[in-house]
A and B are shown apart, each in its own frame.
Chain A
C-alpha cells in the first residue's frame, strides 16, 4: 500500500540530489623543480562553486579544503621553494588563490601523531591511560619519511595516496602507514564495508596501518586529528553521534559520527564523517570489523600541537590566522576489548569522509522497506483477516444454532 508512495519519495529524492561536479586531479600543480613530498590536488567544479582539496604529507598529513566561486582559472598558487623551506616565516602564506578570487569557506584536517600503547587492561581506549599508566610510543608524523605523493597515486582514477614505509630513528618498523583519497563526481556507496555514501561534495579517505611490527605485547594504535575552520568562533564545531536501528549498509554498525564545523548551518558546513568501525583484515567483512572510539572534542588549543601545525600546508594557506581560528582535536582509538589487539592481525583500516555541505545520512533502503512490509505485513494481514473470518463464522454458527433452537422449540414442547 504505502510502498508505492515510498518509492515515489525515494526516486524524487534521487533526482533532487543530482548536482554533478566535474573532478580533476593534479599532482604538484605548478611545481617545476623540487616538490618534496608533493601536493595532490582534486578540483571539483560545480555549477555554482568549486571545491579544492589539497592533500599533502608535508609537515604532517593534511587535507585542506577551499570553497571558491566557480571559475576555470581558479586554482591554488603555490610557492614551492618557500613551502619546502622548513622555515615557518617562509612557509606562511606560501599557498594562495590570488587576490581576486572570492574564498567562500575553507577548513583543514591535520593528523599530527600516531600513538602506540600497550593496552594492558584491554580498554581499547587511549584516553583511559594517563601519564605512565602504561607504555607508550608516540610517533610524530613530522619525523616520518613519506613517499612522494605522485609515486603511489593515479590521476586518471582521481586517486591519491600518501604513504610512509619506514620512519627515522624509532621503533616504527616495516609495514605501511597510508592515507588513500578518492574523489568522485557522483553519489554512490563505496564497494567495501562500511559502505559510506560518498558524493560530489566530499572525498573518501582510507587510513591504514598494515604489517607494522608491534612494539608491545598488547599494542593498539590511536590517531590524533585536528580540525581547523576559517570561522570566527561564533558557531562552535561539534562531534555528534547519531544512532539508527538500520544497519543494512554496514552490518553490525548502528552509529554514525559527524564532526561538523557549523552545526547550526549544515548546508554550508565543513565535515568529517565516519562510522565507529575499523577492520582487522584487508578483505573487509563483518566478522573482521572492530570498533573505534572517538574521544570528546578537545577545543583548548593549548593542548594541541600548534608548533607542528606550522609545518603543514594548512599553515601555508591560512598563515598566522590559523592560530586564532576555530580549532578542535580528538583522539581516535582503534579496536574493541577482547578483539585480540593490533597484534592479532597486524592490520587496521578505517574509512572516513571529508567534505562540504550537509553530511550524507543513511536512508532506509527500498529493499528493507519491502522486506519489512512483506515479511511482517503478510502475517499480520493473515491474522487480522483470519480473526475476522472466524468471528463472523462463529457469529453465524451461533445465530444458526439459535435459529435451530427457536424453530425446534415448538415441537419439543
Chain B
C-alpha cells in the first residue's frame, strides 16, 4: 500500500498538469463541483463498512448468544472491547494522521485494521473462540474510530469553506444507514446461510460476509487516496514541511475554544445516546406502548437524523452562524428532555424533535473545529474530540444505568437535563468569547465567503511575489 502511495499516480511530474481526455471532463476535474460530489460518495462509503460491522453483534444478538453458548455479559464484552480502548486510541489515531501517515495513508491503514479486525472476529466465531472474537473487536476498534477521524479530516480537506456542514451531515446520515442496513439484513443472511452451515460455523460465515463491507471500505480508502493525491497536484495544495507538522506538545496550545467545543460535544452526546440505550423500558412503562412500538419510538432519533442531517447541514451552510445553530440545537433538546421528564405527552413528539435537533447540532458542531485549529492539526483535534466523546459516553452510560436502577427515570432525565445545561452554558460562553474576538465562529455564510475571497486574493498576491525567487 505504501508503495502505491509513493508511486506517482499520474505517471508524470510536470509542474502544471494539463488535463486531457476523461480527466478534463466535469466528473474528473477536481476544480469542478461535480468531481467533489463524486468523491463525496466515496468518502461516505469509507466508513460504511465499519458502521455496518460495528453493530453486527446487536443484529445477531439472540443467535450469537445461543450459537456460541455465551452469557449476556460475554456478549456485551464485544462492545466494551471496542469502546474502552477507543477512549484513548482514537486520539493517537488522529495524531498519527497529522504527524506520520497523512490522511491518505492513515485512512488506508485504519480501514485495513477494520477489515482485519472483522476477519479475526469472524474466524473467532468460526472456531468458537470467544477470546479471539474479543481480540477481533479490539483490532476492529483500533481501526473504526480512527477511520472516522480520517473521514472528518478528508471532509475538511475537500469541502472547507464550501458545503462542509452538509458533508458532515451526510456522513452522519451514512453512518446511520450503515447500521440500519446491518440491523435489517444480517438476520436474513444468517437464515439463508444456515441452510448450508449450522451453529457457530454459520455465524462465522455470516460475519465473513460483514467483512466484505469492510473490504468495500478499504477499496474506497484506496480510491480516495488516488483522487486526493491527484487533486493535490492539480490544485497545487500546500505540502507541509517537516517543522510545520504537529508535535504532541502542540495539543496543550489548542485554543480554549477548542476545549469548550469538546465540552459541548461530550455534554450533549451523553444526554442523547445513553438515554436511547435505556429508552425502551421507559417508553413501555411510562407510555404503555408495546415493546415493538417502543422500539420504533426509541430509534426515531436515528431514523430522523439519517434524513435530516444533510438537510440541516445544507441550511447551516447557507446561513453560516454555526454557534447559533449549536445553541439552538441544545436548547431544543433541553425542551425535548423536559417533555419526556415532566409531561405525559406522547413520546413521538419529543423523540422526533430530538432527532432534528440532534441533526442540527451534529452538522453544525463538528465543522467548527476546522475554523479553530490549523489544517495540519485537524486529525489530532478530531481525534481528541472523538476520544473525549467516547470517554464521556462510556462513563455516563454506566452512571446512567446506576441512576435509573436506584432512583428511576425522572432523576435520570434531570441528570441528562443538567448535562444539556452544561452544554448550553458552554455554548453561550463560547459565543461570548468568540464575539469578543470578532465572531469568527459565528460568521454568516456571506461574511465567511467574503473573507475567503480576500484570503484567496492575498494568497494569489503572495504567489506572485514568490515566483521570481524560483
Contacts and interface: CB of A to CB of B under 8 A. Distances in A.
Interface of A: 243, 245-255, 277, 285-287, 291, 336-338, 367-368, 371-372, 375-376, 378-380, 382-383, 386, 390
Q: Tell me the interface secondary structure of chain A in the complex.
A: mixed
Contacts of A250: 408
B428 A375 contact: no
A248 B421 contact: no
Given A243-B344, A375-B418, A386-B428, A248 B407 contact: yes
Contact of A379 (B342, B406, B421): B421
In the A-B complex, list the 7 residue pairs whose CB atoms are closest, starting with the nearest: A379-B421, A247-B408, A251-B408, A375-B418, A338-B291, A248-B408, A254-B286
B404 A251 contact: yes
Contacts of A255: 285
B48 interface: no
Interface of B: 281-282, 284-286, 290-292, 341-344, 404-411, 414-415, 417-418, 421-422, 424-425, 428, 432
B405 A251 contact: yes
A246 B408 contact: yes
Contact of B284 (A243, A291, A376, A382): A291
B284 A336 contact: yes
Given A254-B285, A254-B286, A376 B406 contact: no
15 contacts: A248-B408, A248-B410, A250-B408, A251-B405, A254-B286, A255-B285, A336-B284, A338-B291, A338-B292, A375-B418, A376-B414, A376-B417, A379-B425, A386-B425, A386-B428
**Most A C-beta atoms less than 10 A away, residue of B410, B424, B425:** B410
Nearest to A376: B417
A250 B424 CA distance: 31
B344 to A, nearest CB: 6
A100 B405 CA distance: 53
Given A245-B410, A248-B410, A376-B414, 8 more contacts: A252-B409, A254-B409, A286-B281, A371-B411, A371-B414, A375-B414, A376-B417, A383-B428
Contacts of A287: 405
Nearest to A390: B432
A243 to B, nearest CB: 6
B285 A375 contact: no
Given A245-B342, A379-B421, A383-B424, A337 B290 contact: yes
A379 B330 CA distance: 13
B405 A286 contact: yes
Given A337-B290, A375-B415, A376-B417, A246 B405 contact: no
Contact of B410 (A246, A338, A378): A246
A337 B280 CA distance: 13
Nearest to B291: A338
Contacts of B406: 251
